[in-house]
Amino acid sequence: MTDFDDIFNEMDVFYKKLMKKLFKEIDELEKTINGQGVGNEWKTRSIKTTHKKNYLGEGTTGLTEIPELPQVPRYVTEEPLEPLTDIIEEKGQVKICMELPAADKNDIKLTVSDGYAEIKTKNFQKSIRLPTKRLVVEKAFATYRNGVLQVTIPKAKLFFDRSGKKHVIELT
């Protein structure tokens, strides 16, 4: 017999003792519920399956009022939510997809400069760092349909430094 066999045998003995003690405590709890502790207001029955002993309880708690649920702090519910945004870098382009379900198409302003895209609406503004500055922003285009803004910006084959130059992208 190896050391591992001894360890597993000891674990098995420990587990059996633990389960015996646990079932004894469960039986005592069942007697308390059916008898003295809660009175006859509760009906319990045990459900035994292989390796499991479950209990089903039915009754009343004696509470005359439903306890008041904790209130969610107002600042949590009034905090503005950030729209879901995906930035996808593909072989020849970068795509930005953003959910703006309550925005009006005419209120969306989109600019790209220095490796950042800035999206503004009446109630929201976000600056997004793009995965590369090697972009042809003059050929970028954007669509807004069914509450989803999709911006596509082609990548440049060569990098031209256009620091400080902002390009406004019109929505279609």
- Model pLDDT, residue 144: 93
Which two three-digit tokens encode residue 138? 């003059």
| Residues 60 and 39: beta-carbon distance below 8 Å | no
| Residues 147 and 100: beta-carbon distance below 8 Å | yes
Give a three-class secondary structure readout of 112-149.
EECCEEEEECCCCEEEEECCCCCECHHHCEEEEECCEE
- Give the pLDDT confidence of 115-160 residue by residue, as tens digits: 889 999 888 889 999 998 888 888 889 999 999 999 999 988 765 5
- Model pLDDT, residue 10: 87
Percent of the chain with pLDDT over 90: 23
Chain region(s) in the chain for CATH 2.60.40.790? 80-168
Candidates 150, 141, 136, 146; CA nearest to 170 is 141
CATH architecture observed for domain 80-168: Sandwich (2.60)
Instruction: Indicate the SS3 state at residue 156.
Output: coil
